[in-house]
Structure 1
Amino acid sequence: MYSVGMSTPERLISATRDLLWERGYVGTSPRAIQQLAGAGQGSMYHHFRGKPELALAAIRRTADEMRGTAGRVLDGPGTAYERIAAYLLRERDVMKGCPVGRLTMDPEVMADGTLRAPVDETLGWLRDRLTEIVREGTAGGGLRPGLDPSGTAAAVVATVQGGYVIARATGSPAAFDAAVGGLLALLAPDDDRAPEA
């Protein structure tokens, strides 16, 4: 499953990421990690002190990947509205949900401050970055005037995370798409809105 050129620690981290995604923390046993990674018990414990340390490495990797993906879109070209729209409309596997957001549903991860920290930091980073973009867009044009930057940023994050949940509950990505479309209509400056019938 993993590249032949991957080091043992990389295979262990990748396996843990996949298992956390599919099974959650409790369902991710050291044995399952070792089997998926093609690594022995001695090899696992040579590189990591145990499951918590390996899970933390996997969560950090997932969080870093999410920041990189979101950052490339949010820091890209275009107006504030265009960059937020690009973030909301980017290609994603809606039915699988957000790999970082899903960790908030895992009671063991949320109960452990060390495991929870990368999740909280990443969602905080996303809200902060969106707040800056909304502030820029309301000051210089490109977004509907009068928007509260931090409240709007929180709404963008909540729309994405909530959209994943509703899509999974209904078994259709249409719910996610509807939420994103509704939010974009609310954010658009008045001159970009469709005229009312």
Structure 2
Amino acid sequence: MSTRDNLIESARALLWERGYVGTSPKAIQQRAGAGQGSMYHHFAGKEELARAAIDRTAAELRAGVDAQLSGPGTALQRISAYLRRERDILKGCPIGGLTQDPDVMVAPALREPVEETLTWLCTRLAGVLTEGLEADELSPPLDPAATAAAIVAVLQGGYVLARAADSETSFEQAVEGILALLTAHTIH
């Protein structure tokens, strides 16, 4: 892996673990095994490096979600596979968690990929729900956009509940709850 990639990967891990303020350039450099000169050779500063790290995390998240939502099965089966996929629940969402970081939210360059990713996720889920309606798998009055927003809210809220309780159970209950509500809209 190149020095630039090591810096980005180190920033990604630290942002997820510590947030933006808790991620110092020195900590990034130490984790990457890179000197200050190397960091500033590749990036103008901490914000530019954080943006590259957030962009990479967002791209990875999108690719994984898209692969699951594009897989075989009904709309509900694909959404269920996405919601039940293996994840590090107690660490939270590496993108959604950034919304709780005030320094990320006030910096347009850092906020933009977070907002774009969550908007993309809602849009992608709404597309799958629309497919389910068009294939007569799901029944009206299910609103794809509102339901997709609810799914994302439940997912992100599930992370918060699990972290607060220090237990994955709360997350799993939230997922099962939204899936039960969606199941009520399936056409048998």
Identify the TM-score tier after normalising by the shorter chain: over 0.9
TM-score scaled by length of structure 1: 0.92
Q: Find 2:41's aligned residue among 42, 46, 52.
A: 46
- Please state how far the C-alpha of 1:14 moved relative to its aligned partner: 0.6
**Is 1:96 equivalent to 2:91 in the alignment?**
yes
Partner of 2:10: 15
Q: Distance in 2 between matches of 1:158 and 1:177?
A: 14
Q: Distance in 2 between matches of 1:45 and 1:170?
A: 40
**Is 1:37 equivalent to 2:40 in the alignment?**
no
Q: Distance in 1 between matches of 2:40 and 2:169?
A: 44
**Is 1:81 equivalent to 2:76 in the alignment?**
yes
Q: Find 1:27's aligned residue among 22, 26, 46.
A: 22
- Please state how far the C-alpha of 1:190 moved relative to its aligned partner: 5.0
Instruction: Give 1:69's aligned amino acid.
Output: G
TM-score scaled by length of structure 2: 0.96
What SS does structure 2 have at the residue aligned with 1:92? coil
Aligned pairs, number: 187
Instruction: Give 2:9's aligned amino acid.
Output: S
Q: Distance in 2 between matches of 1:55 and 1:15?
A: 10
Q: Find 1:125's aligned residue among 111, 120, 128.
A: 120
Deviation by residue 1:61-87 (Cα, 9 ceiling, x = unmatched): 011111011111011111111111111
Deviation by residue 1:79-101 (Cα, 9 ceiling, x = unmatched): 11111111111111111110000
Q: Find 2:143's aligned residue among 145, 148, 154.
A: 148
Instruction: Give 1:163's aligned amino acid.
Output: G
1:8–1:39 CA contact under 8 A, matched in 2: yes
Deviation by residue 1:10-39 (Cα, 9 ceiling, x = unmatched): 000011111111111111111111111000
For structure 1, the 5+ residue unaligned runs are 1-5, 193-197
2:104–2:110 CA contact under 8 A, matched in 1: yes
Q: Distance in 1 between matches of 2:99 and 2:115?
A: 9
For structure 2, the 5+ residue unaligned runs are none
Q: Find 1:158's aligned residue among 148, 153, 156.
A: 153
Partner of 1:137: 132
What SS does structure 2 have at the residue aligned with 1:147? coil
Q: Distance in 1 between matches of 2:13 and 2:50?
A: 11
Instruction: Rate the CA distance shift 1:153–1:190 in 2: closer, same or farther, 3 A.
Output: closer
Q: Distance in 2 between matches of 1:103 and 1:143?
A: 33
Partner of 1:60: 55
Larger Rg computed on CA atoms: 1
Q: Distance in 2 between matches of 1:126 and 1:166?
A: 21
Deviation by residue 1:128-173 (Cα, 9 ceiling, x = unmatched): 0111111111222222432011000001101110000001011111
Q: Distance in 1 between matches of 2:186 and 2:114?
A: 35
